[in-house]
Amino acid sequence: MRVVTTGTELLADALGAQAVATERVDWRPPVTAAGSDVVTDLARVALDPRRADANRRAVDAVLGVTAHLVDVGPASEVLGLERGEFLHAGPPIDWERASGPLRGALMGGAALEGLVDDPEDAPALFADGGSVSLEPCHHRGAVGPMAGVVTPSMWMWVLEDLETGRRTHCTLNEGLGKVLRYGAYGPDVLTRLRWMGDVLGPLLRSAVRRVRDAEGPVDVTGILTQMLQMGDEAHNRNRAGTLMTLRDLGPALVHAGEAGDVSDVLRFVGGNDHFFLNLAMPTCKLALDAARGIDGSTMVVAMARNGTDFGIQVAGTGDEWFTGPAQVADGLFLGDYGPDDANPDIGDSAITETAGIGGFAMATAPAIVRLVGGTVPDALATTRRMHEIALAENPRWTVPVLDFQGTPTGIDVTRVCRTGILPQINTGMAGAVAGVGQVGAGLVTPPAEIFPAALARLAELAAR
């Protein structure tokens, strides 16, 4: 016999005293949203005869993908991004509604591409809109951390599912502090980006191709397996992943350029514990993209924020975004910054949580509470709680301290609506004002109402 109890502790205590195995869960009433009838929608989706099989196929598809690192190249080449085209994180947005850090990153990107000489001249360019366009990274097979701005000259990792040839992409990580993705666009930021285009990108391309051709491409999904045994949750702790990237590319990098440049590249990568984030993100997207378009599936395939809106996409609802206002994270601040300085949640990096790591795997990375706040028991409890809204466990990504339980995989819109438990994201915080950069890191959830909105659409589409 197995009993699940909620609310009435007395009942659980009495059962426990009688040696009945009892699982205590944190139940809340279903979430609601204006204009939707969650209970009716839940019933309709629950009765969709396609649902169980569709979710099984979605889970199998996600868990079946192995991401290999096959190339590195400029976005102009690997994404066909053209002059004046700008990608950004999150669901679609225009300049007018763009937040400070997204504006700052776009301004820096415009200067990097030579569209303006001075980043301060860029707002007029974007406000006019004639010669430039904004588009979500997710619409072009890419993901971008924080502002997520991609311009044609930026070099990108290329990850591939070798079985299908599907690919995903992400820029190279700049480091922390005053960097473009946090909305900074000063001369140092642009100088670093130019070095990344002139030296870092080409050397990494040479090394990635050399490894690929000699030994087969690096298995990035497999690196994530190891990271989760090494205190990384792969969103805000990527230290072990970064070091394993150095290990796997180092011997080939030595042959990729002159000693001075190779040494600089090793130092740059080794000095940036977040370098691997930009490999973790497209790995997660590559897996989740495998579940896109499975009719009847209630699995979330993307969570992304543009600094103004938080959006999700769901396997059974095609390319539609369900959006609501991005929240401000609760966490720890750098220096003298405080909550008033923080921009609302921004970035495609919540793709890690969508795939079951990041905030979902904090149990395996308890040291992260020193960065994002909270306590070690919180971190353990968070992973356990996320299992309540997940469809499956990932047998390749396990958490040793939870007795090697697989990470919670496949956020189920119906479970979120039924339990009121929202996905837990851990995140960096950008300054609200363009140009500031990072101000802290913390914990945040999506706006609750986007899940009933997605549920309502699933209910409309449900088979009868």
For residue 261, the minimal CB distance to its own copies (Å) is: 9
Beta bridge mates, 412: 299
Nearest-angstrom CA–CA distance, 220 and 310: 27
- Cβ closest to its own copies, residue 33 vs residue 357: 357
Cβ atoms within 10 A of the Cβ of 194, count?
A: 12
Residue choice 376, 381, 433, 448 for contact with its own copies (CB under 8 A): 376
Which CA distances in Å does 235 have to 23, 93, 164, 279, 307? 30, 24, 26, 10, 17
- Cβ closest to its own copies, residue 1 vs residue 214: 214
User: With the CA atoms of 282, 288, 294 and 295 taken in that order, what torsion angle do they form, in degrees rounded to the nearest 10?
Assistant: -110
For residue 403, the minimal CB distance to its own copies (Å) is: 5
Residue choice 96, 336, 340, 403 for contact with its own copies (CB under 8 A): 403
Q: Which of 447, 431, 144, 408 is nearest to 311 (CA)?
A: 447
**Among the residue ranges 302-310, 317-325, 376-384, 450-458, the one whose residues contact its own copies (CB under 8 A):** 376-384
Q: Does 164 help bind its own copies (rule: CB under 8 A)?
A: no
Nearest-angstrom CA–CA distance, 159 and 6: 43
What residue has token string 């303006």? 116
For residue 211, the minimal CB distance to its own copies (Å) is: 11
For residue 248, the minimal CB distance to its own copies (Å) is: 8
**How many residues at the interface with its own copies, by CB under 8 A?**
36
Q: Give helix then strand counts, H and E, for the chain.
A: 17, 17
**Interface of this chain with its own copies, residues 269 to 328, rule: CB under 8 A:** 270
- Cβ closest to its own copies, residue 97 vs residue 247: 247
Q: At what angle do helices 239-253 and 277-289 cross, to 10 degrees?
A: 100
**Among the residue ranges 3-11, 90-98, 159-167, 371-379, the one whose residues contact its own copies (CB under 8 A):** 371-379
Q: Does 175 help bind its own copies (rule: CB under 8 A)?
A: no
Q: Which of 280, 350, 277, 281 is nearest to 309 (CA)?
A: 350
**Interface of this chain with its own copies, residues 213 to 272, rule: CB under 8 A:** 226, 229-232, 239-240, 243-244, 246-248, 250-252, 254-255, 259, 262-264, 266-267, 270
Cβ atoms within 10 A of the Cβ of 183, count?
A: 33
Nearest-angstrom CA–CA distance, 317 and 298: 8
- Cβ closest to its own copies, residue 362 vs residue 432: 362
- Cβ closest to its own copies, residue 272 vs residue 308: 272
For residue 342, the minimal CB distance to its own copies (Å) is: 26
Residue choice 15, 401, 433, 448 for contact with its own copies (CB under 8 A): 401
- Cβ closest to its own copies, residue 306 vs residue 398: 398
For residue 397, the minimal CB distance to its own copies (Å) is: 13
- For residue 96, count CB atoms less than 10 angstroms from its CB and return exposed for 0-12, middle for 13-18, buried for 19 or more: exposed
Nearest-angstrom CA–CA distance, 134 and 239: 32
- Cβ closest to its own copies, residue 349 vs residue 364: 364
- Cβ closest to its own copies, residue 64 vs residue 271: 271
Q: Does 375 help bind its own copies (rule: CB under 8 A)?
A: yes
For residue 45, the minimal CB distance to its own copies (Å) is: 37
Beta bridge mates, 161: 67
Nearest-angstrom CA–CA distance, 152 and 193: 12
Cβ atoms within 10 A of the Cβ of 308, count?
A: 19
| Residue-wise burial string across 271-294, b where 16 or more C-beta atoms lie within 10 A, e elsewhere | ebbbbbbbbbbbbbbbbbbbbbeb
For residue 268, the minimal CB distance to its own copies (Å) is: 9
Using CB under 8 A, list all residues that contact its own copies: 226, 229-232, 239-240, 243-244, 246-248, 250-252, 254-255, 259, 262-264, 266-267, 270, 366-367, 369, 375-377, 380, 400-404
